[in-house]
């Protein structure tokens, strides 16, 4: 699939590329990441391949990520209007200021103005709440976002890293009050993080939110460079080292084996698996080098067989919170041994009345 075979995002008409370019790696202010020159080359390579979906946040590399995008795209109206630029509010860039971050009206409006300035644009295509703010009423957040959409400074809105029940509440309020609805959900999702399939993914499907997974390779744990018995590189961070369990190594072994059969890389196999999951619109890929970008974009050419996908499914099956496991039995209780919408169920053995007895 080419990068310019676009998909609509959630229950909206916004067309985005099937892989989104994440730019948390743009800038070196955090002690790692890509230089300005390398970041510009990555942007150009992604756009030249037909991509249009770019994701950043106000706090990425202390605001420099947004500025890199603004310097390279915002100053050129034709290039900027072709791109779908998504950024986030919530993060606080100002120590000592309790309203410098969060999801209250004061913070949201200020963060939007500052992001517009750094991005050198008049509008943000998709404005994300970076995480749920339990101290701010969701009505206040949604009304402030609706005002930004009404003003033309924001085109669409979405939530990141927010509980399913709060997303559903926000979407219901927006619908009943005629405010701008959420169109997308950004969550961690990968072969090593599937617990979102308990509540967040079903909620997104029900409420029309296109899913854009972050960390689809779990910080590099799914690239194949960490193998059982090998040495883990120092400085990779607890998120990666904590993920390197026996279960992870079993998944990585399968990724390597499938990649060898297909003549591709484990990273591409992991991304191809994720892209095919229900509700997933555009996984967010990050790259510090052109080589990493090229490897990730190659996932669009990978086609997994049902046997390959099922093998990865089985190795990565998550333990979900109640009532997910219990609900596996409801079809047996409710369907009376019939098939409904392609779902077949055995008759419930405790059913008191057979069809013949009822007549």
Please state, in angstroms and as integers, the Cα–Cα distance from residue 226 to each residue in 219, 255, 256, following that order: 11, 12, 11
Tokens of 252: 């990585």
Is residue 329 part of the annotated active site? The answer reads: no
Tokens of 277: 């999951």
Contact (CB, 8 A) for 348 and 336: yes
Rounded Cα distance, 40 and 50, in Å:
16
Rounded Cα distance, 332 and 181, in Å:
36
In a 13 Å sphere around the CA of 153, the CA atoms on its Cβ side amount to 19
Q: How far is CA 349 from the centre of its chain?
A: 42
Spatial neighbors of 259 by CB under 8 A, at least 6 apart, are 224, 265, 266, 268, 269
Say how many residues make up the chain: 359
For tokens 């190659």, the residue is 298
| Three-state DSSP state, 227 | coil
List of E strands, 56-176? 84-89, 124-129, 154-160
Q: Which of 60, 123, 156, 226 is catalytic?
A: 60
In a 13 Å sphere around the CA of 198, the CA atoms on its Cβ side amount to 15
Pairing mode of beta strands 15-16, 7-8:
antiparallel
What residues are annotated to the active site?
A: 60
């Amino acid at each position: 699939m080419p990068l310019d075979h676009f998909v609509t995002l959630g229950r909206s008409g916004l067309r985005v590329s099937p892989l989104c370019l994440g730019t948390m790696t743009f800038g070196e202010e955090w002690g790692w990441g890509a230089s300005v020159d390398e970041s510009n080359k990555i942007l150009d390579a992604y756009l030249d391949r037909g991509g249009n979906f770019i994701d950043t946040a106000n706090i990425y590399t202390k605001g420099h990520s947004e500025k890199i995008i603004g310097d390279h795209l915002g100053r050129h109206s034709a290039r900027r209007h072709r791109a779908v630029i998504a950024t986030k509010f919530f993060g606080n860039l100002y120590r000592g200021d309790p309203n410098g971050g969060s999801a209250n009206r004061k913070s949201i409006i200020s963060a939007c103005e500052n992001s517009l300035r750094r991005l050198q644009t008049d509008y943000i295509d998709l404005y994300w709440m970076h995480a749920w703010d339990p101290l701010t009423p969701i009505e206040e957040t949604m009304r402030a976002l609706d005002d930004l959409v009404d003003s033309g400074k924001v085109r669409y809105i979405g939530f990141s890293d927010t509980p399913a029940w709060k997303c559903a509440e926000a979407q219901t309020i927006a619908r009943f009050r005629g405010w701008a609805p959420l169109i997308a959900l950004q969550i961690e999702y990968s072969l090593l993080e599937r617990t979102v399939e308990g509540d967040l993914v079903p909620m997104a499907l029900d409420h029309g939110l296109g899913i854009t997974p972050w960390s689809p390779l779990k910080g590099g744990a799914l690239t194949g460079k960490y193998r059982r018995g090998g040495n883990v590189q120092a400085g990779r961070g607890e998120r990666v080292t904590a993920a390197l369990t026996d279960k992870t190594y079993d998944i990585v072994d399968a990724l390597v084996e499938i990649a060898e059969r297909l003549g591709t890389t484990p990273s591409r196999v992991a991304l191809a698996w994720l892209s095919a999951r229900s509700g997933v619109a555009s996984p967010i890929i990050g790259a510090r080098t052109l080589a990493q970008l090229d490897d990730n974009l190659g996932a669009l050419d990978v086609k997994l067989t049902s046997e390959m996908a099922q093998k990865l499914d089985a190795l990565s099956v998550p333990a979900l919170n109640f009532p997910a496991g219990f609900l596996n039995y409801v079809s047996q209780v409710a369907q009376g041994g019939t098939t409904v919408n392609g779902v077949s169920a055995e008759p419930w053995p405790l059913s008191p009345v057979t069809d013949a007895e009822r007549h």
